[in-house]
Structure 1
Amino acid sequence: MRKNSFNTTGRKTDAYLLQALHILFTEIQKLKTAVLDSIQADDDKVDLRDTAFVKDTVGVSDRTLLRYQNLGLIRVHQRDKGGKKYFKLDDVLRLKRYLNS
């Protein structure tokens, strides 16, 4: 009997599993966003802050803030016609607490 005959999974199988987990994670994030949007659809009094405020409050750069958006740690709540991003103050404070913990 060979030394490694019990291990039938290879690197390709591991890569496929990681890819499947990544796809599953992104789908869960989309569902979470959809549910949160449906629950919080009636926010009339939302306190919005621009990107400069978020960067100063959290203490990150433009690139890092964009990375946090891609990871789903903070969401853009609204954009104006010029493309300027606005975030909810609650989300900004939540991100700051998350990064400082």
Structure 2
Amino acid sequence: MAENGPGQDPEGMDEARLASLDERLKAAQDAEAARTAATRKKPDKGYSQGNRVLTELIAGIVGGGLFGWLFDRWLGTSPWLLLVMLFLGIGVAFRNIIRISNERPE
């Protein structure tokens, strides 16, 4: 009598309910993975290109200015090599920025 008491399912029903629950859980996990896959993309190429452009611009100006200042100190030609190297650094930075902007976005 205890086997067929109220609130208890026959033994075969437990396995079917668990299998059904596993299927629904798997479907819900797959749907959640598909929904969040769009938001977990890697960063945009435009964002990384913007960082590269900023880095090139800063590095060109600072690098040219630093080398020009060092050569001026070493050769005693102040401020001419500083100005030449600064403009050279700016030119190289702009050339690299143009090269970066011509890359094809993915």
**Shorter-chain TM-score range:** 0.3 to 0.5
Using structure 2 for the length normalisation, give the TM-score: 0.34
Q: Which has the higher helix share?
A: 2
Using structure 1 for the length normalisation, give the TM-score: 0.36
Q: Which has the higher strand share?
A: 1
